[in-house]
Structure 1
Amino acid sequence: MSAVGLLHALKVDVVDWRGEKQLVANVDLRAGELIVGERPVAFAETRPGEEAVAPWILLETILSSEPMGAAVAAADLKLTKWPLAPEDEATLDHLGRKYKRNPKKLAQLYHRVAANNIHYRHAGVMGFGIWPVLSRSNHSCDPNARLCASSQQPLVELLLATRLIGAGDAVSWNYFSDAAFLELGWLERNRRLYRDFQFLCRCSRCEAERPEGAGGLSNADIAVFLKEGK
Structure 2
Amino acid sequence: MTAAPAPLWFRADVGHARFGFTDARTDLGRGPAADGSVVAGVEALAAALGGRPALMRQVHGAEVAVAEAGAPTPQADALIVDRPGVVAVVRVADCTPVVVVDPDRPLAAVVHAGRVGMAAGVVAATVDELRRRGAERLEAWVGPRACGQCYEVPEQMADAVAAVEPAARATTRRGTPGLDIGAAVIAQLQRADVVVHDLGGCTIEDDTFWSHRRQGDAAGRFGAGVVLGEGGDHAAS
**TM bucket, shorter chain:** under 0.3
Select the structure of larger CA radius of gyration. Answer: 1
